[in-house]
A = this chain, B = another copy of it.
Amino acid sequence: MSSPSTPARGRPARLDRDRTVDTALDLLDEVGLDALTMRRLADAMDVQAGALYRYFATKDDLLTAMAERMLADLAATGTDGDWSERLTTLARAMRAALLARRDGARVYAGTHATGPHTLGFAEAVVGVLRTAGFGEEDAARSLMALAHFTIGHTLEEQAALRPSGDGGAADPERLRLAAEPERYPQLAAVLPTLTSGDFAAHFDFGLSLLLRGLRALEHS
């Protein structure tokens, strides 16, 4: 919108979109989303907060650029194996990309990126599905199901890890305390699995459910 045009006249700029997004992602890892403020970021770049607004119209604009950057190099994965192996690789790569940064899922879910990395990922997933013979509708909806499951999952994963509001106990501990066996017998019985912390296995289970469903759809 307001990006400075090419020939670097005058003083060389201390700021630019790319360097700012880099610094912002580093700062995100350091302090988390809730403490990532425009002033803190400006500080990290040795600049006043107002200066950032020459490169990003709003904080949301910055967060969107960060979200986009997190998905870099995603579409390159998923080129080996049959369609279900490719989709598995793509989905796992998206999960890994979101988990790679502190609060990554929350950043991604909160903004709505439509940049080249996001679109490239979608293109790759739909490409695999269409090549496998799925129709336009099924391919589009499968993309959404895979993406929404992945986002929902990583969101909960990252939420489960931290202090979480009041007392201090993290998510699994709170659940263990809350799920009294008398009131919630079924829940209490599955608590070991629910609080196991083996998120990769949980993710793969859900993913395999979706892919098994697709396989069944294929032969019908």
Chain A residues with CB under 8 Å of chain B are 1, 57-58, 60-61, 64, 106, 109-112, 114-116, 119-120, 122-123, 126-127, 130, 136-145, 147-153, 155-156, 159, 164-166, 171, 174-175, 178-179, 183-187, 189-190, 192-194, 201-202, 205-206, 208-217
Contacts and interface: CB of A to CB of B under 8 A. Distances in A.
A171 B114 CA distance: 9
B112 A159 contact: yes
27 contacts: A57-B166, A64-B165, A106-B110, A114-B174, A114-B175, A114-B179, A119-B179, A122-B187, A123-B184, A130-B189, A130-B190, A139-B190, A141-B193, A141-B202, A142-B205, A144-B205, A145-B153, A145-B202, A147-B152, A148-B153, A148-B206, A151-B152, A152-B152, A152-B155, A208-B213, A211-B213, A216-B216
Of all A-B residue pairs in the complex, the 10 with the closest CB atoms, nearest first, are A152-B152, A209-B213, A145-B206, A148-B152, A140-B193, A212-B213, A140-B190, A114-B178, A141-B205, A213-B213
A201 B148 CA distance: 14
B206 A217 contact: no
Contacts of A190: 126, 130, 136-137, 139-140, 143
Nearest to A204: B141
- How many copies of this chain sit in the oligomeric assembly? 2
Contact of A187 (B126, B141, B174): B126
A184 B127 CA distance: 10
A202 B155 CA distance: 21
Given A114-B175, A149-B206, A151-B155, 18 more contacts: A60-B166, A119-B178, A119-B179, A123-B184, A123-B186, A126-B187, A130-B186, A136-B189, A138-B205, A143-B190, A145-B205, A145-B206, A145-B209, A148-B156, A149-B149, A210-B213, A215-B216, A216-B216
